[in-house]
Amino acid sequence: MTQENCIFCKIVNREFKTDFIVETQDYVSFNDITPRAPIHALVIPKKHFASLNEIEDVELMGKLLKGAKETAAKLGVADNYRLVINTGEKAGQAVFHIHIHVLGGRSMQWPPG
């Protein structure tokens, strides 16, 4: 998928009406349209990276994790939530723009996969 066809890039560029939970100059978070838990949000960088394997910016990754923490707090699950980053199709990555899933609102099982 090219950056021009990336659904998350289109969300960042406001081509789709999306209510952001958190927005900074570096990232946004919003609710997942196919939730896998009562609370299921995504945190994405505004700059396109296809997966975790492409991003070398450690500072940006720290900001994304901070954004996940802030998103969990705003959604009322600050004490109990799971973060997931899928990398590659076989790992479950469906949109090839790095994103962090913030899952909460129910008990999580282990192992997850």
* From 40, 97, 99, 101, active-site residue: 99
Cα 15 to chain centroid distance, Å, stands at 18
99 counts as catalytic:
yes
CA-only gyration radius of the chain, Å? 13
Provide the token pair at 100: 């962090």
d(CA 16, CA 83): 25
Provide the token pair at 17: 């009406």
- Contact (Cβ atoms closer than 8 angstroms) between residue 11 and residue 28: yes
d(CA 4, CA 98): 15
Residues assigned a catalytic role: 99
